[in-house]
Amino acid sequence: MLKLHGFSVSNYTNMVKQCLLEKGVEFEQLPTRPSQEDDFLAMSPMGKIPCLETADGFLVETSAILEYLDEIHPDPPMYPSQAFAKAKAREIIHVSELYIELAARRHLGNAFFGAERSEEAYAEVRPQVEKGLRAFKQLTNFGPYVMGSEFGNADVFVYHVFRLASQILKRVYDWDIMAEVPGLAAHVGAMDERDTTQRVIADHEEAMAVLMTQLKAAK
Ligand SMILES: N[C@@H](CCC(=O)N[C@@H](CS)C(=O)NCC(=O)O)C(=O)O
């Protein structure tokens, strides 16, 4: 059986988990946190989560894992079947990860965990995200899913990217990026109706509450 190493606070873990649930694949989630310990690095070379343990070995990097799952469990498909459209789905995934999520993530510690604000990041992140949003708007075609009426991994990815990035940017800049992308609110509405989203978000909120209690107790 597939083993998903990663705890439910992690939005990347939640993307893989939602894809597994959508496909109805049996898996076990091992609530692992990122770590630079040697035994974890042997599985996940950057020490990040998620890490998927398969019969053939370990896999990391969410977009690579999502594509692997689509190849070994093709039903239901989570990418368009036609090559160009499939590349377009990957394009949306990469743009949202590299130019929105990763930029916003520089403020993660400040937004959620009481770290001091980096003034350098404060000056740099907003213009980076503005460029990312401009590209994202150009590449998406909401209807209500990011590529129209067909749901897939690009939707799962975008949902979990924006869920985190929008909370961070709201807290740091009082900036509502959801309002800047026409179609995104309807996308969130459609995603929120899915059973798999509800399960993943319920687990996320429970794990987040546990983490916050642990952090408070450690102060
Ligand atoms: N590019 C990676 C990003 C994964 C990632 O950043 N995971 C976070 C948790 S949501 C993590 O492990 N952070 C710890 C670290 O960056 O060392 C992926 O696609 O899986």
Taking the CA of residue 36 as reference, the ligand 1 atom at the shortest distance is 17
6 close to 32: Cβ distance less than 8 angstroms: yes
Give percent above pLDDT 70 in the chain. Answer: 100
Average pLDDT for residues 1-22, to the nearest whole number?
98
The pLDDT value recorded for residue 37 is 98
- CA-CA distance, 32 to 7, in Å (whole number)? 5
pLDDT over 90 (residue 196):
yes
pTM, to two decimals: 0.97
Q: For residue range 16-68, what is the model confidence (pLDDT) as tens digits? A: 999 999 999 999 999 999 999 999 999 999 999 999 999 999 999 999 999 99
Most ligand 1 atoms within 8 A of CB, residue of 16, 48, 106 to mutate = 48
Ligand 1 centre from 51 Cα, in Å?
10
Mind listing the domains of the chain with CATH numbers? 2-72 (3.40.30.10), 83-218 (1.20.1050.10)
Residue 43's contacts (CB-CB under 8 Å, 6 or more residues apart) are 5, 51, 53, 58
Residue 43: both structure tokens together: 């599985």
161 close to 168: Cβ distance less than 8 angstroms: no
Ligand 1 centre from 118 Cα, in Å?
20
Name the closest-CA residue to atom 12, ligand 1: 48
The pLDDT value recorded for residue 64 is 98
Q: Quick one: CA torsion of 10, 11, 16, 20, rounded to 10 degrees?
A: 90
In the predicted model, what is the mean pLDDT of the chain?
Answer: 97
Name the closest-CA residue to atom 9, ligand 1: 10
Taking the CA of residue 9 as reference, the ligand 1 atom at the shortest distance is 10
Q: For residue range 68-99, what is the model confidence (pLDDT) as tens digits? A: 999 999 999 999 999 999 999 999 999 999 99
47 lines ligand 1 (CB under 6 A): yes
Distance of CA 195 to the CA centre of its chain: 17
Instruction: Name the 3-class secondary structure at 47.
Output: coil
